[in-house]
Structure 1
């Protein structure tokens, strides 16, 4: 009983700590979601171990009579498959053609794997995986932001007063020695905005900070809104 309580509590704590960072950022899945996913995964492995023990002890006569055999790894495999549906629900494509929720979905999947390891009693892997996941979610975003800010590629969401002004904006971009890799213009007036908008993928031939590029684009005539995505 002591081992059972320890494993379930450890699964809850590790899952909750992983989800705490996502909850602070108001992501679709947060503290309680991660906690429940890890707890459920650990419970699944414990159930498989329980069935394996019972089939080899108390239920031996029944097993011999019906010839039933079980593989405890099959139950854990279903957790990995099932978590995909939960993770897919957190992935969204916004009106700016921006995909969000991938990190949340990946975190849920990793949390489920940690829960499976806790349930199996593989504590060395549990603490190592928890530390690495924590590094990915808390420390690496700072490094990622630095690399993106100084990178040669930038994706820009723009809103402007009229579609006709797009030509002069594109002409200015080319004059600044920027390469236009892709452009997606939305002419219809949707519910999210009353202005025409576009998503531009640009390559900066000269290294410069993205904030400077965005500030220069925002100062152009006809530009109503400007964001990096």
Structure 2
């Protein structure tokens, strides 16, 4: 009986002693109770603006056309084994090859000087999808004269002949100057397509400067 009575009393005394130690003003507060320092704010963050927008970031794909990266946006092929892309519900269409029937009928398809590049096969001069395994492509010519001739007074029909370059060890159209008609989709430039899901796009930017 004595042991049964003394154990609870000893435990109570120990708890009181611990409580007394914990309430001492000489002990520093624990790290969990220390308030975090306020994050410093830049003058731009503190400035009052008409809208919530305070920063504008522009991503400019230099030496790449809009359709080179977004020809079929927001629809990707999604082959097995590649990062899949599925557009969010309500994603708007854009001014690209897919929505202007330029994948099936393209002015470069019938331009006479283009035809010998793929053995007189006009179908080979239609825009085509680059696979992820073909991401390292040869750049087109950016010289002042050839780019003007490729635009052909606004007909936009002579790009393979004047600006196209064959890709080393390429096969089929990929190994001809018609490779300039190739494009990537959301399975290769997945990051850019994901950005496009959340930020504004400019698919109608033009310049009068060649080269």
TM-score calculated relative to the size of structure 1: 0.20
More helix by percentage: 1
Determine which structure has greater relative contact order: mean sequence separation of CA pairs < 8 Å that are 6+ residues apart, divided by chain length.
2
More strand by percentage: 1
Higher CA-based Rg: 2
